[in-house]
Structure 1
Amino acid sequence: MLCTGVIPIVFLFILIYFVLIFLVLEIAVTLLIISGLDKEVARFQAVSMLTATGFTTKESELIARHPIRRKIAIFLILFGVFSLAVMIASISTILTKDLRIVQLIIITCLFGIVLFVVKTKSFNSKMSGEFHHKLKKEYELHELPFQEILYLNEGDLFTSVKIDEESPYVNRKMEEVFIADKDILLLFVRRGEEKIRRERMKLVIQAKDELYVYGSNAVIDNKFHTEIAKMMAKKQDEEEIKALE
């Protein structure tokens, strides 16, 4: 039977272990945010990598295609796997009364100090500059993630807009819809299986065209509010149907 004094020590060890996991997670999330990733996306992907749950969302491409974020991801995956093995082994050690609580507390405190440093504004500013400098210095433009090139500001957006039969833009010329002095660009048009780039501005918009646009989020939403709302509603309906199956 286990000694009554051992059980509290096991719980203490598990508590310290979870504090350590939290610190590592926060450090990784902060570094991902510094690299330009959205806070919520950074946290979700960091948890996914640390727990090795393997969520394969489109957002994961923001990690896989970014050289710096890839290194953070590798560390998180390896740390998650090895730390679990270490925890199991350590609990077994505790049960044999060869305690390692002090060493774990020291390691946890060190990670706490690292997190404090990473959270400072000076570190954030310096590392942000370093990250962008490294990308520009070591990688060609075509090697960088697509989002890194286009998402220059928080208010920028790249999206596709599907035109249906009821859209007011049907039978209108592209050059009438995409005015030069507005903060919105038409990159290309998908019409059936064809992608049209070179002559895109000379096209007359047809139903079922898919416009790939880039520019101000507010301008895009204002111009294609109805189309985007229909797309979102359709997507939500499809997800609900899929959930019921």
Structure 2
Amino acid sequence: MVLILTFILFMTVFLLVIDFFSILFRMTGMPISKARFQVISLLSSTGFTTKESEMIVQHPTRRKLASWLMIFSYVSTATFISFFVSMLSDTVTSIGFFAVIVIFLFVILIFHKSSLLEKIENKIEDKILKSELWNKINSKTSILITSSRGYGIYEVYISKTNRLVGKSIKESELKSKEIEVLNIDKGDKFIKFPLPDYVFDIFDKVTVYGNLKNIREEFETKIDR
């Protein structure tokens, strides 16, 4: 009985970790469905070599989150195997164990389909957005690639508060500030030399060339030299 209760506690923590990190990845601009899949992939050490994983490895904040998940996955995998072996060692316990799993999964399925989960996730997201720790983790918004005589190339991440969100390249008037958009990486889609009608989205990774001073002012960057 103790092992069964311990296993339920472990699975509850495991599922909470999945939901919590899915929220964090969503806050960096990933769709929640893709975020949840990548979190499960990282925790189970399967499927992370898919093309969608590039959405994580190419983003500094997502890489930090992924590294924490990888550490947790090693611990959780060892714990899960230990519990599973202990359960199977006793025939009576194993029958009860599988019965508990079925009931537990049924309850989780109902909970995930309810509107309550979304409300809880939104409240958690609001709390995280207001925390100083999240601002520190998610602080890097640009990387300087090369520069010469006041001009250079930057990789810039479009934040939620950036004025460019929802505007096209033409509407942004970047050219008037000596800033040229070279390409846009959306993680699962790479756009070379985007057309003037392209509309900027949250957490697009944009490669720009132009006046360094204007780039820093435009994107309110915390520069990584």
TM bracket (short chain): 0.3 to 0.5
Higher-helix-fraction structure: 1
Higher-strand-fraction structure: 2
Tell which structure's C-alpha radius of gyration is larger. 1
